[in-house]
């Protein structure tokens, strides 16, 4: 029997560039995980294609999917619903392929409860480390501005708690490289590998 695939969740604060990093990952030919296309009630933006970027749904359709428990998670974000189709995720994982979700933080929290052994990656804004520099070098910025940034940073640090890895989005190519390296490492984790050898030994006696 084939091993199940890995559920990879990329999340992080809004505006951090999750979508851009995800698109960069899937534009590379050697990416061998499957992107789970989300459902949303927001209108398509120019150039977006139904079934490629999202499955675009009406509010009624979306609410009926919630009722039928067809969503692994969902959240309301800036007045629109976003959610992950559960059947696609389960079927793809069962076929042994890795599934990649790019979702906002409330959704990631729900997924963590249902898939505690998923791989949760937090995409962090470079502003966190910039902030560190500014504080160390005491730049020319006003106290208020620094305080606002500190509050934001505090919130972001709190959000990080749920995740296994933190990737700073300083440069898209670097963030992509780090995410791919994390996935490779995760597949080599002892807890994930050992069961296969145990089964092999049992079969061979």
Listed in order, strand segments (DSSP E) in the chain are 7-11, 33-35, 39-40, 55-56, 71-77, 80-85, 98-102, 119-124, 165-168
- Interaction of residue 34 with ligand 5GP, rule CB under 6 A: no
Encode 43-85 in three state secondary structure.
Answer: CCCCCCCECCCEEECCHHHHHHHHHCCCEEEEEEECCEEEEEE
Among 7, 8, 9, 18, binds ligand 5GP (CB under 6 A): 18
C-alpha pair distances (Å), 79 with each of 63, 75, 103: 14, 10, 16
Binding mask 133-152 for ligand 5GP (x = CB under 6 A): --------------------
The residue (of 23 and 187) whose beta carbon lies closer to ligand 5GP is 23
- Interaction of residue 156 with ligand 5GP, rule CB under 6 A: no
The residue (of 31 and 109) whose beta carbon lies closer to ligand 5GP is 109
- Nearest one of 112, 115, 119, 149 to 134, comparing CA atoms: 149
- Interaction of residue 102 with ligand 5GP, rule CB under 6 A: yes
DSSP state of 161: T
Least distance (Å) between residue 159 CB and ligand 5GP? 13
- Interaction of residue 70 with ligand 5GP, rule CB under 6 A: no
The residue (of 78 and 184) whose beta carbon lies closer to ligand 5GP is 78
Binding residues vs ligand 5GP (CB under 6 A): 14, 18-19, 38, 42, 73, 75, 77, 82-84, 102-104, 107
């Amino acid at each position: 029997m084939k091993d199940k695939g890995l559920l990879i969740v990329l999340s992080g604060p809004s505006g951090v560039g999750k979508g851009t990093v995800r698109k960069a990952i899937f534009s590379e030919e050697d990416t061998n995980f499957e992107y789970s296309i989300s459902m949303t009630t927001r209108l398509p933006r120019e150039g977006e294609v139904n079934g490629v970027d999202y499955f675009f749904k009406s509010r009624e359709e979306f609410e009926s999917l919630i009722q039928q428990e067809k969503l692994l998670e969902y959240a309301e974000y800036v007045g629109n619903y976003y959610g992950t189709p559960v059947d696609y995720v389960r079927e793809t994982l069962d076929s042994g392929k890795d599934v990649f979700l790019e979702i906002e933080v409330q959704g990631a929290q729900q997924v963590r409860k249902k898939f505690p052994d998923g791989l949760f990656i937090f995409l962090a804004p470079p502003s966190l480390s910039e902030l560190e520099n500014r504080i160390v070098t005491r730049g020319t910025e006003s106290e208020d501005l620094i305080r606002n940034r500190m509050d934001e940073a505090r919130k972001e640090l709190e959000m990080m708690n749920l995740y296994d890895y933190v990737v700073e989005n300083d440069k898209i190519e670097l963030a992509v490289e780090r995410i791919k390296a994390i996935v490779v490492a995760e597949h080599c984790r002892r807890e994930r590998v050992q069961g296969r050898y145990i089964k092999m030994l049992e079969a061979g006696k």
